[in-house]
Structure 1
Amino acid sequence: MAGEIELIHTTQAAAAGGHYAQAVLHQGVLYVSGQLPVRADGNHSVDQPFEVQAAIALDNLMAILDAAGQSPSDLLKVTVYVAGIEHWPAFDRIYARYLGEHRPARAVVPVPALHHGYLIEIEALAGSEGTS
């Protein structure tokens, strides 16, 4: 594989819960692993309403972007898994607050269940010309 692979890790987002990195940077593209709404200190939020869970998952994503020297405006593609499509409107409102005018490609995928009983998981691709 051409180019170096850099593993991205920050204590400002939930630690990886298995054999994977929070994110991987390769040839200027940041591949962010699925972010569940686990707080950076490791506390779970599975008992919280969807809106709280969505904000925590997005906070994790933003912290990982920052650790990689990127920002929300560098997001290229976001995939969101929600346990129940009825959460789509709430997610869209929260997501818009985080991203402002930036509109990366996105998919919202309804699923029957997520790990630990969470209601949302977010993965993303990001890149910027200044990143190598």
Structure 2
Amino acid sequence: MLNPVLLANDPNHGHYVPAMIYAGHVYVSGTLPSVRETDAVTAETPFKDQMQQLLRNCLDILAAAGSSEQKVISFTLYLISLDDWDVANDLLAAFFGSHRPARAVICVPQIRKGYAAQATLVAAV
């Protein structure tokens, strides 16, 4: 059975849910570094701050699904500039600690609202 994951105080931004649970896994939708209740993080926010907020958003979704960063199986990060690779890599290493999920970093020409990063992931529940 499919079980959608919803977040409190998260306005509906489109025809999707933040994540879907199926067969013991949570599939997280494309996640941006936005702060749900405000515009505190924008495209002009420094990359490191965007990335830290993006990871906090991923944690919120994982927690709502009954999972954690230590159960992430696969993590895909989309960047608009590979110049941000080193900062992203350091933040991901700190985020995951000794846990090392499968990972891909893909450079794309554009991300919604002009953000510098977006992520999708799959984790065990």
Q: TM-score, normalised by structure 1?
A: 0.88
2-side partners of 1:11 and 1:75: how far apart? 22
* Amino acid corresponding to residue 82 of structure 1 in structure 2: L
Identity %, equivalent residues: 31
Alignment of 1:104 with 2:104, yes or no, is no
Within the candidate set 6, 29, 33, 1:33 is matched to 29
* Amino acid corresponding to residue 104 of structure 2 in structure 1: A
Within the candidate set 6, 9, 27, 2:6 is matched to 9
Q: Which moved further from structure 2: 35-44 or 59-68?
A: 35-44
State the Cα distance separating 1:37 from its structure 2 match.
0.8
| CA shift in 2, pair 1:97/1:15, >3 Å | farther
RMSD: 1.4
Q: Flag as ranges the 4+ runs of structure 1 deviating above 3 A.
A: none
Please, which runs of 5 or more residues in structure 2 have no aligned partner?
Answer: none
| CA shift in 2, pair 1:97/1:78, >3 Å | same
Determine helix, strand or coil for the equivalent of 2:92: helix
Q: 1:20 aligns to what? A: 16
1-side partners of 2:120 and 2:81: how far apart? 17
Q: 1:115 aligns to what? A: 112
Alignment of 1:94 with 2:91, yes or no, is yes
CA deviation map 1:86-107 (0-9, x unaligned)? 1111001111111111110000
Count of residue pairs the alignment pairs up: 124
Determine helix, strand or coil for the equivalent of 1:92: helix
1-side partners of 2:99 and 2:11: how far apart? 27
